[in-house]
Structures are given as structure tokens and as C-alpha cells.
Amino acid sequence: MSKRYLKAEDLYALKSVADPRLSTNGKDLVYVETSISEEKDEYVSNLFYINVEEKNAPVQWTYGNDRNHSPRWSPTEDKLAFVSNRSGKNQIYVIHANGGEARQVTTSIYGASNPIWSPDGKKIAFNVSLREDEKLEDTDKKEEKKIVPLEVDKMKYKSDSSGFWDGKYSQIAIVELETGKIELVTEGNRDYQLQGWSPDGKSLAVTADFSENLDFSFVSDVFLLELETKKFEKITPGTGYFSGATWSPNGRYIGILGHEREFENATLVKIWVYDTEQKELSCLTAESDLLIGDFAIGDFQQGAVSPGLLWAEDNESFYFLASDRGNTVVYYGSLKGEMYPALLERQHVYGFTTGGELNRAVVAISKPTLQGELFLLDVPTGQLTQLTNVNSEYANEVALAEVEEIEFKSKDDWDLHGWLMKPAQFEEGKKYPLILEIHGGPHAMYANTYFHEFQMLAAEGYAVLFINPRGSHGYGQKFVDAVRGDYGGRDYADLMEAVDYVLEKYDFIDVNRLGVTGGSYGGFMTNWIVGHTNRFKAAVTQRSISNWISFYGVSDIGYYFNAWQIKSELEDAETLWKHSPLAYVGNVDTPLLILHSEKDFRCPIEQAEQLYIALKHRKKETKFIRFPESNHELSRSGKPSLRIARLHYILNWFKEYIK
């Protein structure tokens, strides 16, 4: 039986597996499986269990059409804490490993998240939101939904992820499981994020910003909160972003991920270790050009979690993820300074757990033709054994397009790297249109991972080109920093030279049928491209930036992002305007579709409105699509029906204008 080709609606049939958690016994594994309820137009997540030694079929542990996630094993390994919205709000539940009903252990008015067990397994610490004078005990109080004016007296009053600030701060509380007693251990008018519990049970690791003026502070420090005295000890220098704190088993060392903002938000994340006995913080990767963490982007996975440093039983060794040339790699490291890859393949590792083991790990892996599955990794041999097969029926039914990696030199002699995806029904001797895809960030990384949008375009007969131009992560500090102050310069040239390269190398691409699209920074670049060349027959700009002058005041990050990235303040409007695609709107002859979300606070919709009206006023070919109740993350985690509608708009625009 021949396979069919992918459709946008296949999103409803696919499942995502993420956040694997291996217990310290090295055999019990839980993970989160997310699917989409087409009837409810919502995501559904449940917990599943596998014994990795027996490699038995997964056993479902939670049921229903809710979102159950964030599973965390108890130290005694007989219980599991997790977060569920089954009561209407995210609350923390505990379920026994041998079965039975899950027990709700929090009833916080605004919900609870991020459960972390005490070392003795008798308590759970968690994050909770509260207004400055609210008490945690107000569990009978109902959250008010009436419409009231929004009083604004600070600059950081909105965010794309959480909307307008409503006066609540993230605090930390602890629930005693036997009695149900809950204690609030932080309070006041700043946010605290829980990181971990010390092995001796005496302290919590938390992140916070203790700066006096938070509007002008862009740091995150790691603190040790002594539970008995409630005193804070700052263990990072107050110079940048530090998080992901994890304790070694004996409690002596704390692994931390972060950087000191040497290149603002283009700075590579490094590994730091704090010695609690010597009271010293050291950077283990100070001389390395390796980027720590997973910076790959896709449009499919739900609930992926960054693991930080995963310590081994010897208290000196650890594993971590690194982003490197379009892959995420599992690395081994040690306090002695050893660093080498333990799993180096063409892949995107978006989940990773060891349970404290040195020789065994479970990894979540995606590839261009693999949506994502869990594998057991034997570290000494590098052998992978597949544990899940959640999309096997789909894989047997649908043919996916393969990708080919490309490497070439730019005109100024920089190494550039990317991929070309051939049409799924490719035939030798035929000519095909090409779509250039541009990622956001700009400090992100296209990778060897599944991309539903790319596969849809390939299934419809398009070749898809995607590269990591300078400014992208994964190619060293100099490469990622090169875009700052040069938006529309060498980054634009990299993309155009990539198109030239594939046109010269691959004779099946039709030079007269080219399209371009991208979102966020990729939307900015799409706007820039159509204002500087007419080589593309059609373009689709998504959640884009068109005017850096207005972006300064309307984006949740605008007033500092301009300075960091364009290297210009509002007083230098001439430079901001020079880098604004809106300044070149009179040059646009490419039919341009504009897609934008109504509640996008990162790149607010006024950016699209300005562009649309300027184009229409000049009688240019354009159309404007506004997505209701959606933010900057529409393409990745937005309402499923709107995600699919978005894909159809993109496809139909290219079909109309690329004949």
C-alpha cells in the first residue's frame, strides 16, 4: 500500500512525548504524552510509565481530557508528584506508583506549579502566585473576573507569556503531605523561582532579582534560602542570568547554567559550579565556544523541559545538553574539566534524564522525519534502544520528505550551514518552486528536528531551504554576536547567498518560482527582503517587526531590546529608522501576506498594522490576517484550529502567487 502525503490537519493525529523522568533506581520511567482533542480544540496531556529494563509497553497512569504534566519522583520512589488542571486550575497531585487515585495536595487560589520533593519524601515545595498582601490560606476565595482599570506604574507591566501584570508575584511554599499544612517561605514584592532542595533538607535553591529598580535590571541570581532562618545567601555575582541550579548527591556542589551578559542576550550560556564548602563559584566552560542547553526550534513538541546539569553518584561527574551546528548533543562533564560528547548524532535531543546513573540515560529525540520518541541510551557504547512508538500508525501511513545538509562559504569567507528539503514527491528532471524559511530570535537555531510546516510545504511540491545565518546559536560566540547592530546587513546577505548557492548546485529548483517566509526576527527579515529585492514571487511575514521606533514603546522587551540588538536608543531615531523595513515599503513589489496574533506582546500587532496600511496606501498586493486570542507562540503552542488555519493561509498564498 502506497503512503499518502502530509496535510496540515495531520497535527490532530500526532502525539508528542516529553519531559522523561527516570527514578534513581534506574528502571522506572515516567513521561508526558500530549495529543490534541479536535472536538474540544485543546491539548490533552497524560502521564505514562515504562520499566526500561523490561522494555514493556507503556502503561497509562492518568486519564481524561485535562493537562497532566511535570511528573517528579519521590526520593522513596514509591510516589509521584505532578501538576494537573483537572480542578480548573493547575494544582499539585500525588499518586502512588502501585496504583490508586491521585490525591490533590494544593488548593491555591491561582494554582500551583513546579513540584520539588524534600529529601525525606515528606514534603513538596512548589511555586504559587500571590499578590503582595494576600495569604496562602485564602483557599475559599474565588478569583475575581470583573473588568477593572489597569493601573500601570512600572515598565515591565506586560509579557507575551502571561499578558498584563495583575499584581501577583511568584512565591515559594511547602506542603507537608501527612497533615496538609502549607507554609509560605517567601513573600513580598518580587518574584522567586524554585530550583531545588538541598540533600540535607536545610535549604532551597531559588532564583530572584534583588535589584532595587527592576525596570532597569536584567539579572537573575541563584540564592540559597535557609528554611529555618529564612535567610538568603547569594551565590552568583549579580552580573547576568543564572538559573538551572542542581545539587550534587552529597550536597557539596551546585551546578548552575548562566552567563554574565558580556554580549547581552547573545551571550553563550556556560556551566558554573558553586562549592558550598569553599564558598566559591567557578565557570567550567569559560574558555569554551560551546553553547550549553537546547536552543533548537521547531513547531511540534509540547512540554519540553531543559534538565540543567544531571549529576552522577560520584559527585564529580555530570551530563548536560549542548547546541552545536544544528544538533543538540548529550555531553559528559566533570569537575576536573573533562568535557566530551556522549551522544553525538544528527538529532535534536529535547528531553534528557539519568536518575543519577553514569551509564544509562533516557533521551527524547526528534529528527526531520521523526516527530519525537524516547530512547534508552547505553552511555558506554552509545547504543540507543527505542522505548516509545507513539506515532507508528501515522508513520506507516504518511510519507515525509528527507532533508540534505548544506555547507558553503559566504562572500566574506564565513562558514554557513543549513538544510534543503526536497519535495516529498520529487521526480528527477522536474522543476520545483523553493520556499526560503527564516527563523526567529535571531539567537535561535534551526536543527535536525521535525518541522510540521516544512513537511506540509514539501508535501505540496515545494522545496524548502532553511539555514542558520550569522546571529544564530550553535556556531560560537563570534557568530551569534555578529548580527547585533547589523540587522539587514550581513544576515540578509547570508540568506541571499544561501539561495544563490542552492540555485547553482541543484538544477531542480526553478529560479522564477521563489517564496520566502519567517516569524518574529524571521518576519522582520521577510519584510526587509521584500523591500530590498524582487527575486521572490510571494512572501508571508509572521509576527513581524516593521518599525523599530514604535517597537521601542509597545513591545514587552522593546525599550531594552533596541539597545541590545540594533545598538541604538530612541534618541537616535535615524538609526532605528534605517533598520526598519517600513522605511523601504515603497520598494515592495512582492505580494505580501501578513499574519499576526491579536495578543502578541513580543511583536505587537501594531507592527503589522503599520505595514499593512503603508502597503495598501501604495496600492501594493497584500492581505492581513489577525488571529484572535493568540500570542507570539501561535505557531508552536497556540489553539490547534488556529495553528492549522495559519498553515493553510501560508500554503494558499504561495499557491496563488507562485504558479
Catalytic residues: 520, 632
Residue 535: half-sphere exposure toward Cβ, Cα within 13 Å = 17
The answer to whether 579 touches 609, Cβ cutoff 8 Å, is no
CA gap 244, 75 in Å, rounded? 20
Strand (E) or helix (H) holding 51? strand 42-51
Nearest Cα residue to 208 out of 187, 227, 196, 222: 222
Strand (E) or helix (H) holding 643? helix 640-657
Q: Which amino acid is at 25?
A: N
Length of the chain: 659
Strand (E) or helix (H) holding 349? strand 348-353
Nearest Cα residue to 351 out of 335, 328, 385, 367: 328
The answer to whether 100 touches 77, Cβ cutoff 8 Å, is no
Contact residues for 93 (Cβ-Cβ < 8 A; gap 6+): 81, 82, 83, 84, 102, 103, 104, 105
Copy the grid coordinates of residue 363: 533521551
Nearest Cα residue to 60 out of 80, 78, 46, 43: 46
Cβ-in-10-Å burial (0-12, 13-18, 19+) of 321 comes to buried
CA gap 36, 198 in Å, rounded? 38
3-state secondary structure 203-234: EEEEEECCCCCHHHCCCEEEEEEECCCCCEEE
The answer to whether 361 touches 19, Cβ cutoff 8 Å, is no
CA gap 326, 394 in Å, rounded? 26
Cβ-in-10-Å burial (0-12, 13-18, 19+) of 287 comes to exposed
Q: Which amino acid is at 594?
A: I
Contact residues for 311 (Cβ-Cβ < 8 A; gap 6+): 246, 247, 248, 249, 253, 255, 317, 318, 356
CA gap 547, 228 in Å, rounded? 52
Q: How many CB atoms lie within 10 A of CB 512?
A: 10
